[in-house]
Each structure stands twice: as structure tokens, then as C-alpha cells.
Amino acid sequence: MEERKTNMPLLGDKFPSLKGVKTTKGVMNIPEDLEGRWVVLFSHPADFTPVCTTEFVAFAKRQKEFDALNCTLIGMSVDQIFSHIKWVEWIEENLGVKIEFPIIAANDEIAAKLGMLHPGKGTNTVRAVFIIDPKGVVRLTIYYPQEIGRNMDEILRALKALQLSDEKGVAVPAGWPNNELIEDKVIIPPATDIESAKERLKSETCFDWWFCYKEND
């Protein structure tokens, strides 16, 4: 039996090109078709399952927030396209929630390419999350087991934090914007030489030269 090779895109890698994939919104080339936009691509184990249904509803209810951040949501599982279409119809008819984002009908090759098949967790794809920047670079990955649903507010928070870090050249503290030490402020990158370390203590708000922060303005 041929051994299946499973890869896992690393942070800073180009997201593996998925060309000609079938989705509920037509054939797409990802990330090429979405150049210039942020992408949150997330896999789910299977259509017509309870936890996945709660996740899709949660993503759909935050669709406008992702849109406002120049971000496209994309779902994915190894179910066939007709299953995706029927499930989306069921969610709208029975739960009153319309799924606007595309859902990829993946195959085992695509799932393995993205590290979504974990042999120790069965044959379904795990709950993978990829945040991809406008240049097609992987900026964040999270993997959840099948039995644990994701927190979409955390995914939104991480996206906002990445955009802020890129724009302002700052780091973002734990739990931002509700950090226990510095609240919604952001962290200034540490000084890289003795002189600038001394000067920083005079001009910035610091616990010490290596831990300085400022208002997020």
C-alpha cells in the first residue's frame, strides 16, 4: 500500500496553489484568484454534522466583519459538491442563515497537501484554519480536532492583529485588545543596540527597555 504523504504549510510559506478546484461558487484557483485580499480558508470534517453546522452559522453571522477587513472566507471538506449545495440549502431553510462564502469540494490529495488528514484522528479532515495574506503567504495556521468547534471571534481577532502588525510595525499582546497589562495598547519592537535601548526608556512608556508599548493610533 502506498504511503500517503502529508504536508503542513509553514508560516511564511506560499500557500500551496489549488488550481481548478470545484466550489459552490464555481471553479476557483486559490490563492491566485484572490490576490490582493486576505483569505481565511477553513476545513471541516463533513457536511450535515452538528459541530460543523454550528461553525458555518458562526462564520456566516460574521461575514460582514470579514468583508470589512478585505478578507474572503472559504470553507472546505472532502464531501462532493452536491453535498455542499444541499447542506447550504438545509442551513438556510432550517436555520434561517444564508451561507455566502464558497465551499471547496476537496479530495484526499488536496487535504494531504494542506496537512488536513491526521491518521490518528480518522479519515475525515481535521478542522484546519489558514490565514493567507494578500500576497498568498501563510500567516497563521490552527488545527482543531473533529470534536472541538472553533472560536470565530478568535480568528477575527487574529486577522485584525495581523493587519495591525503589518500596517504599524508593532507586536500585539495576549488577548488584545483586552490585555491584562496594557489593555488595547500595542508593543514596540525591542531595541537592537545599547544606545537605542537607553534612549527608548526616555521617550517611550516601558516596563523596561525590552518591553515598551504605546497607544494604538
Task: Please list the active-site residues.
Answer: 52
- Distance CA(159)–CA(120), nearest Å, equals 30
Q: Which helix (H) or strand (E) holds 59?
A: helix 50-61
- Would you say 140 and 130 are in contact if contact means Cβ atoms under 8 Å apart? yes
- Distance CA(60)–CA(95), nearest Å, equals 12
Q: Quickly list DSSP for 92-117.
A: HHHH-----S-EEE--HHHHHHTT--
Which of 122, 138, 153, 157 has its CA nearest to residue 55?
153
CB-based contacts of 59: which residues, under 8 Å, 6+ apart? 42, 66, 73, 75, 101, 152
10 Å Cβ neighbour count for 111?
22
Helices (H), 72-184: 81-95, 108-113, 152-168
Crossing angle, helix 50-61 and helix 81-95, to 10 degrees?
70
